[in-house]
Amino acid sequence: MTLAETIYQRSLQLPEAAAQEALDFIEFLSQRYGVSATTIAAADGQAEAYDAWFKAQVQQAMDDPRPGIRAATARAYFAARRAALRQEIEPRR
């Protein structure tokens, strides 16, 4: 099983809110490392190419000299982001 498949299988076991948080964090990492939606879409349907790309991205992250982001920091960031979006949406209802 590839790393991407393992992540997918584990995400299926999460409650909906936790799965959304995981997706938010993946999007955060995509922005941090400059991964565009086009790059991801280009790999769609090409499992071997995607797996190689994903492993390269993981290696790039591991080699990054910047300090890591603590899980609690990421959770707080996205909780605040979700709260701001909810406040923005609520007045429209």
Model confidence pLDDT, tens digit, residues 6-65: 888 888 898 888 888 888 888 888 888 877 665 655 555 667 777 888 899 889 888 889
Does residue 76 lie in a domain region?
Answer: no
Is 74 a member of any domain?
no
Other residues' Cβ atoms within 10 Å of the Cβ of residue 40: 14
Instruction: Specify if 75 maps to a domain.
Output: no
More confident residue, 88 or 77: 77
* Helix 71-89 × helix 16-32 angle, to 10°: 110
Torsion sign, CA atoms 87, 37, 62, 47: positive
**Is 83 domain-assigned?**
no
pTM score of the predicted model: 0.39
Tell me the C-alpha distance between 67 and 86, whole Å. 31
**What pLDDT shows up at residue 92?**
63
37 lies in some domain: yes
How sure is the predictor about 93, in pLDDT bands with cuts at 50, 70 and 90? low
More confident site: 77 or 92: 77
Locus of tokens 């190689």: 52
Query: CA angle at residue 58 from 57 to 62, to 5 degrees?
Result: 115
